[in-house]
């Protein structure tokens, strides 16, 4: 996936940004073409989710786990259920 840098949802506070670099794990290698073709939509969907997220929702391992599950669900909605089996966070920085 391309790197995503966007602001998080903060109300009346200084801006907080997130930087996400991730890899998608797919069930079958033959689905790689479909994943590549859908990459602009996946990036848009992931960016939209992150912009709706509050910084406190990304705290701790439970917050990261919930984010991973939501990203997998969104990817499988855009592609087809079961294509994306996991998302591996290469880098996740909240600042």
Query: Which CATH topology does 4-94 take?
Result: Tetrahydropterin Synthase; Chain A (3.30.479)
Position 4 pLDDT exceeds 90: yes
Do the Cβ atoms of 31 and 83 come closer than 8 Å?
yes
Q: Are 64 and 20 in contact (CB under 8 A)?
A: no
Q: Give domain limits for the chain.
A: 4-94
Could you list the beta-strand ranges (E) of 1-95: 4-7, 17-26, 84-94
- pLDDT of 3 > 90? The answer is yes
Could you tell me the pTM of the whole model? 0.92
18-72: per-residue pLDDT in tens? 999 999 999 999 999 999 999 999 999 999 999 999 999 999 999 999 999 999 9
């Amino acid at each position: 996936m391309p790197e995503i840098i966007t602001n998080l949802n903060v109300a009346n506070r200084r801006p907080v940004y997130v930087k996400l670099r991730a890899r998608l794990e797919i069930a079958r290698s033959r689905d790689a073409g479909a994943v590549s073709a859908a990459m602009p939509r996946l990036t848009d969907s992931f960016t939209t989710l992150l912009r709706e997220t509050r910084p406190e929702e990304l705290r701790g391992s439970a917050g990261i786990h919930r984010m991973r599950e939501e990203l997998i669900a969104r990817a499988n909605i855009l592609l087809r259920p079961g294509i994306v089996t996991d998302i591996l966070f290469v880098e996740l920085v909240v600042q």
